Amino acid sequence: MIAKVYSAIPYGYDGHIVEVEGDSNRGLPTFNIVGMANKTISEAKERVRSAIANSDLCFPTRKVTINLAPAELAKDGTHLDLPIALAVLLLSGQLLEPDIVDRLFIGELSLSGQLRPVRGIINVVEAALDKGYHEVYVPYQNLRQASLIQGIKIIGVKNLRDLVLHLQGLKTICNDLNTIFPDSHNSSTQNPLVSVVQKTCTGVAASSEQNVVKNNCTDSQAETTSDVKITQTEENMNVVKNTTTDPEEDYTLDQIIGQPLAKRALVIAVAGHHNLLLYGPPGSGKTLLAKTACNLLPSPTKQEQIEMTKIHSLFGDPNQIINRKPFRAPHHTASASAILGGGPHVTPGEISLAHHGILFLDEIPEFHRNVLEALRQPLEDGTINISRANKHVVYPANFMLIATMNPCPCGYFGDPGHECQCSAAQIEKYHQKISGPILDRIDMILSVKNLPQSQLITTNITSLPNYTEHNVVKNNISEAIQRQFRRYKQETYNGDLSSTATQQHLTLDETTRNICLLAAEKLNLSARGYFKMLKVARTIADLENSNQITSAHIAEALSFRQNFTLN
């Protein structure tokens, strides 16, 4: 007898359907799993055996073989525990094939039969949707993440016993909305989700939950399932609301003393998704400016939320939904695999975790040279290709880079208040840690100077800011981003445009074009640098609600390119 149960596993950024085949023959009672299964899956034999016994079900006293197809695909994780257990129950006749047809099952089993959450649930649910499945059974704790995917029925399961009763038609699994989404009907900001999962129980069969079928089943039971529907709480709304943040914990523009030019550069960078490098002496506020940029980011759209949660779920909290754009700040001692991605299981790195958010590299010259050079392709393409001997994975990495650095090793070169102790050779060597190709991929470079002590002393630091400036600027950024989305008819920022798209969408009049050509010749801009200057100018125009790029916009954009030599 052959039993087939379908499941899926994460495979890089996507998912892959796995066919769990079971065969039962006469012979000594053994339990074997084949099909390129790693140690985690091989250990599922003991988890499945105990889970079945502790769920008041029978494990067959025959030779059982489980094959995971396709056999050439390396399989990792605990996603296949539940389908393996169901295949065993099919072989023993405790379930019938009509009970599982056109259904997909995912989940890790505990020894008691409880289902535990797995990672990458969005990846596998999307794979099921692409393959035409209409009903997916996931661990109950994964239901919150899985319900972000629309167009497919998702049922959360707490234990193996309830699932078997549900498949037999003896019990209906009901997922409680208030348990999954606390305060979901409350208008407060505790729950930032726009989309919620609504469940309706269609009724419970009259049979008692204690009537568990241990023997062979002869009749297929009528199916009564709880329907999981994805709806919008507000029509035509595609932006996910952020949770309310505590002003005492988050940095705002109102808390930054002075630095009007640096604030302006920060606003332009966030509005257009441009890369920014801040350099200046220690204590000038470079790190504070970068942390403030995190709170200027707009709320993620629905698609952005799914993409961010999809990446973070691969090794993070399986019940967490990312409802605000990330701010990743790896230490300069981080390895290439930690920042770029990779490792034994080819997991995403910091640049992928910063997708749609900010990657902050504090003191960028202190990072390893090979790490910085490896950022070339992600900064250009918005993706990272990770190739291994038996695996090739592409992760999204469309992040905004904000980097800081000192002008010299001691940090005080060019500072009138301190004497620089570095030699010319030391300064040149320090600057050479950042190569020309990396600098060419940075849209804006700004020198941040120390504030006069008189300005710091006269400022009343005991008074609480009213956040007027921050709120006004954040609204302007959101409006500028919406103009970009409308112009390109998709969720694309000015900084993400290719050279072809830049020529197509960013048109100039004759006077402005002549100014651009003259500036490119005088500043010796590369083709990439020229297009980046145009994209920054387009963002400045969007912030001013201007349909045309004027010479004033070009001049301001050029002011952030003239310091590229860091002299």
Whether 154 contacts 142, CB under 8 Å? no
pLDDT interval class at 387 (50, 70, 90): confident
* pLDDT reported for residue 457: 62
* pLDDT reported for residue 466: 60
In the predicted structure, residue 267 carries a pLDDT above the cut 90: yes
The more confidently predicted of residues 391 and 166 is 166
349-355: average pLDDT = 95
Residue-wise pLDDT tens digits, 123-135: 999 999 999 998 9
- Spell out the residues 6+ positions from residue 423 whose beta carbon is closer than 8 angstroms to its own: none
420-437: average pLDDT = 89
52-70: average pLDDT = 93
Average pLDDT, the chain: 83
In the predicted structure, residue 185 carries a pLDDT above the cut 50: no
* pLDDT reported for residue 215: 41
* pLDDT reported for residue 253: 85
The more confidently predicted of residues 418 and 215 is 418
537-556: average pLDDT = 92
Tokens of 383: 């993706």
455-475: average pLDDT = 68
- Spell out the residues 6+ positions from residue 442 whose beta carbon is closer than 8 angstroms to its own: 275, 276, 277, 401, 403, 564
* pLDDT reported for residue 184: 39
pLDDT interval class at 455 (50, 70, 90): low
CA distances from 383 to 344, 353, 375, 395, 435 (A): 20, 12, 10, 6, 21
pLDDT interval class at 416 (50, 70, 90): confident
Whether 75 contacts 36, CB under 8 Å? yes
- Residues of the chain with pLDDT > 70: what percent? 83
11-36: average pLDDT = 91
Q: Which CATH class is domain 2-232?
A: alpha beta
In the predicted structure, residue 48 carries a pLDDT above the cut 80: yes
Q: Is 276 left (phi over 0), alpha (psi -120 to 50) or beta?
A: beta
pLDDT interval class at 325 (50, 70, 90): very high
Place of tokens 């904000």: 402
In the predicted structure, residue 256 carries a pLDDT above the cut 90: no
64-76: average pLDDT = 91
Helix-strand-coil split of the chain, %, nearest 5: 35, 20, 45
* pLDDT reported for residue 243: 36
In the predicted structure, residue 203 carries a pLDDT above the cut 50: no
- Residues of the chain with pLDDT > 90: what percent? 52
* pLDDT reported for residue 563: 53
Neighbours of 58 (CB within 10 A): 17
Residue-wise pLDDT tens digits, 284-312: 889 999 999 989 998 898 999 999 999 99
The residues spanned by each domain of the chain are 2-232, 253-559
Residue-wise pLDDT tens digits, 507-524: 888 888 888 888 888 888
Tell me the three state secondary structure of residue 21: strand
Residue-wise pLDDT tens digits, 152-168: 999 999 999 999 999 99
* pLDDT reported for residue 177: 42
In the predicted structure, residue 224 carries a pLDDT above the cut 80: no
In the predicted structure, residue 317 carries a pLDDT above the cut 70: yes
In the predicted structure, residue 414 carries a pLDDT above the cut 50: yes
* pLDDT reported for residue 260: 87
Whether 369 contacts 410, CB under 8 Å? no
User: Please, what sign has the CA dihedral across residues 322, 326, 332, 336?
Assistant: positive
In the predicted structure, residue 458 carries a pLDDT above the cut 70: no
Neighbours of 464 (CB within 10 A): 10
Tell me the three state secondary structure of residue 446: strand
232-260: average pLDDT = 56
* pLDDT reported for residue 342: 87
Q: What is the CATH number of domain 253-559?
A: 3.40.50.300
In the predicted structure, residue 149 carries a pLDDT above the cut 70: yes
Q: Which of 564, 463, 477, 553 is nearest to 508 (CA)?
A: 553
